[in-house]
Every structure is written in structure tokens, then in C-alpha cells.
Amino acid sequence: MRVLTFTSLYPNKIEPGLGIFVKARMDHFDLIENTEHKVIAPVQYLPLLGLIPGSRFHSNNQVPSQEIQGNIPVYHPRYMTIPGTNLINVASAMMKAADIMLPDIYPNDETFDLVDGHYLYPDGVAAYRLAKKHGKPLILTARGSDVNFWMEQKQPKRSILQAIDYARQVICVSHALKDRLIEHGVSEEKLTVIMNGVDRSLFNAKDKGAGKYLLSVGNLVPLKGHEYILKALVKLTQERLTIIGSGELENSLKNLAYRLNISDRVSFLSNVPHRDLPAYYGQAKCTILMSSMEGMPNVVLESLACGTPVIATNVGGLPEVITKDNGILLTEQSAEALTVGLSSALSHDWDGQQISQDANYLDWNETARNLHRCFSEFC
């Protein structure tokens, strides 16, 4: 089985943590006999902005056009975008850039059996157009904001539904995403749920300690709600907070911590290698996720696998994995609700070993086996 994975969110030399859960799923898929895959991970470019040091486009220029990760070839065709405008159809630009590179990826008589497209928009739409042009079956994976945000936008929704209509199957990483797609008119027969997993050899409770701090792991972007965590910390005067992540709000969040007079109790860490995260989960009292929307965030799965309870907003697929025995779901995204939830969590006697044991089903190997069964039906 020869699979071509298509997604713009995939690790590269400059951003090794980008879309790491997509890579993890396919790395475990490759362990199954008689499978192989290559990756097309398009990269944005804009000629003038690419000359400005420190800009995202300048960083993108440093991404090689091809790299080998393990023994998997990963290709990074360039597609042009103009931020803040609709002058360029991003899905079309992605597809054209990938199609130009395809003869180099599959020279002579080589080919692929199936396109594995991640994120319904714009990536999934581009993957659909590529698969359709070359007469190949397409499997899409819906992961979160592609359903919760883009399906609410008129033009993207129309394009997504065209892609779904062509696809043989749409994998959803939570039942909540499946239900949302059904609400948008997608046939239930076309949808299947395959949850993300974790690497149980790394994420387990062997290093679980008594807990030294509260922990938040995630990109520093508006939908993650980090400001609510900082505001809640004001009233929890004995607690310390570690935030792992980077993003556009980093400076404003640091300034907020300063204004709230809690800077001495907050540690901001960026670029923590994924393999080092288990140690942080293991030493945390609890992991906090204050998102306004989610699919099935791996942060939660990793925390539970390490035996650390989770306090999170009740959004997306989180109710499918967070129970009264491993965490608390908040009914609203606010500092007040989080303060109450944390006070309850910090006074509760959690059984870390049991939390980890109950999360044994969250395993990338099982995810890969389910994925292989799905792919095998269509190629």
C-alpha cells in the first residue's frame, strides 16, 4: 500500500513540532507490513515578506524543498499567499504547487495508491483536487477547526463538501466532529471515528510525582484561552504555573502576567522537544486547557497517559475522554469558572496510576491498525 500524505501542518527542519500528531500517526502506520508513504507538506511564501528577518515567511524560506525524516521523504513545494486577502485561492495554489513537484516525487512508472489528506480546509480541498486529477482514491481526516470554523464559512464549506463528496471516507478524530459533519449534511456512512493516540513508551505514569505546578501546553493563540489561566492564578496564591508553547500572544501574555503581579510564579517555555514533555506532565498537579474550540487535542491524551488530571472547557471531543475520575470539565470559558474548578481539583486525591491505566486505549499502534483497515477498503 503506497500512501501519499498531504498536509501543510507537518514537522520540518525549522518547525519540528508542527503537526507532530500527523507524523506520529503515519510513523506508526509505517510499522505495518507492506505499507509505505511519502509526504507533501506545502509551505507558504511571499517574495517581499520573505526578505524580512523574523517574519514567518522568512522562516518558511529556510525550509528545504525536500528532507528525509527517518526513512520517509517529505517534500515542501512553495505556494504563494497574500495575508489578509482573498486574492489567491489557497487550496488551488497548494494543489498546483504539489502537482508541479509530483513527477519528481514519483519518477518514471512510480505512483501512489491513495491520497491521505489532513484538515478539510484548505489542505483537504487541495488534496481532493490532486487526487481527482490523477484518478486516485482520497481519504480525508477532520481534526477540529476545519469543522468548527471553516464549515461555518459559506465558500470554504462549499469547497469542503465537494471534497467530501469525492472522498471515499472521512476520518474524524472525535465523535463530536462526526456529529457536527452530520449536522452539515454529510452522510454518516461516509464518516468514521479514529481517535488520535499517544506513544505509550514515552507517555506513561512511571515518572508521576506529587506535583509541583499547574501546566498548560499549547500554541499561544487566542482560541487557547491562556489569559483565563493567568487571571485564575491571581487568586491561587500558593500555586505556580508552567506554560509550554509559543505563538503570536507570547509577549502580551507575559505583559499580562506582569500587570497581574504573578510573573514570579509563571514560567514561559517555548520549543520544548516533544520527547521531553512526559517529564513536565509527570511533575504537574494538573494540566489546564481553556480552549474555545477543539477536535481531540493530543495535549489532553498525553496528560492522561502520564497520570495527570485535566481541567478543560467542555468543548469538542473532550467529554469523550475526560471523566470525573481523571479531570473536570468547565461549563464556561472564564477565569471564575477555572478558579472554582482548580480549587476543586487541587483538593481532590487523584489516582495518577489509575488515570494512566484507564488511558491505555489511547495508543498510536491501535490508531495505526484502525487506519490501515480503513485504507485497505479502498486500495
DSSP per residue over 143-171, as a string? -SHHHHTGGGSHHHHHHHHHHHHH-SEEE
Task: List the domains of the chain with CATH numbers.
Answer: 2-197+363-376 (3.40.50.2000), 213-358 (3.40.50.2000)
Q: What angle do CA 114, 120, 122 make, to 5 degrees?
A: 100
CA dihedral 177, 181, 186, 191 (to 10 degrees): 0
What is the chain's mean pLDDT, rounded?
A: 93
Has residue 171 got a pLDDT over 80? yes
Per-residue pLDDT of 259-282, as tens digits, reads: 999 999 999 998 899 999 999 999
Q: Please, which pLDDT band fits residue 57 given cuts at 50, 70 and 90?
A: low
Cell digits for 219? 500554541
pLDDT tens for 82-102 read 776 677 899 999 999 999 999
Which three three-digit cell numbers place residue 195?
A: 481517535
* Residue 267 β-bridge partners: 242
The DSSP code for 219 is -
For residue 196, is pLDDT > 90? yes
Let me know how long the chain is.
Answer: 379
**If you average pLDDT over residues 40-59, what whole number do you get?**
76
Please give the Cα distance from 70 to 263 (Å, whole number): 40
* Three-class DSSP category at 108: coil
Predicted confidence (pLDDT) per residue in 114-147, tens digit: 999 999 999 999 999 999 999 999 999 999 989 9
H helical segments located in the chain: 20-29, 56-61, 90-105, 125-133, 145-148, 154-166, 175-183, 226-233, 250-259, 277-282, 298-305, 335-346, 352-358, 364-376
* Burial (CB count <10 Å: 0-12, 13-18, 19+), residue 224: buried
What secondary structure does DSSP assign to 63-92, as a single string? S-SEEEETTEEEE--EEE--TT--SS-HHH
**What is residue 313's DSSP assignment?**
E
**Cis bond leading into 309, ω under 30°?**
no
**Cβ neighbours for 231, distance < 8 A, ≥ 6 positions apart:** 260, 335
The C-alpha atoms of residue 376 and residue 349 are separated, in whole angstroms, by 45
Residues 296-354 pLDDT 10s: 999 999 999 999 999 999 999 999 999 999 999 999 999 999 999 999 999 999 999 99
Edge-to-edge strand ranges of the sheet holding 310-313? 266-269, 241-244, 213-217, 284-289, 310-313, 327-330
Q: How confident is the model at residue 243 (pLDDT cuts 50, 70, 90)?
A: very high
Contact 264, 241 (CB under 8 A): no
Helix (H, G, I), strand (E, B) or coil at 266: strand
For residue 123, what is its C-alpha cell? 489542505
What is the predicted pLDDT for the residue at 52? 64
Rounded CA separation 305/99 (Å): 40
C-alpha cell at 2: 503506497
- The pTM (predicted TM-score) of the whole model is 0.92
- In whole angstroms, how far apart are CA 9 and each of 98, 121, 241, 295? 14, 12, 28, 15
The yes-or-no verdict on residue 59 having pLDDT over 90 is no
Q: Please state, in angstroms and rounded to a whole number, the distance separating the CA atoms of residues 116 and 108.
A: 22
